[in-house]
Amino acid sequence: MSQLQRTTTEKKFPIAAIIGLVLIFVVGLFVVGFDQGHIFSIVTGETAFEELFIHELTHDMRHAAGFPCH
């Protein structure tokens, strides 16, 4: 009697890696598409909303990705 060989492999993805990638995606999406000084306002306060550093940094990428901003 011969043993049956498995022809399929069981795919296992570490749940921590999936959670990490989802977090990176969500934070990246927010930085590129929606940040209007919110992230730097944690450190610099109200001036971050006037300087819009991340907004200006990602401005061309934001338009290329189809996010409206002005």
| By CB under 5 A, residue 27 contacts Zn ion | no
Least distance between Zn ion and beta carbon 59 (Å) = 5
Q: Pull the structure tokens for residue 26.
A: 């969500």
Whether residue 36 contacts residue 48, with contact meaning beta carbons closer than 8 Å, is answered with: no
Least distance between Zn ion and beta carbon 34 (Å) = 13
| By CB under 5 A, residue 11 contacts Zn ion | no
Could you say which residues in the range 41-70 bind Zn ion, by CB under 5 A?
69-70
**b/e sequence 38-59, b meaning 16+ C-beta within 10 Å:** eebeeeeeeebeeeeebbeebe
**Interaction site with Zn ion (CB under 5 A):** 69-70
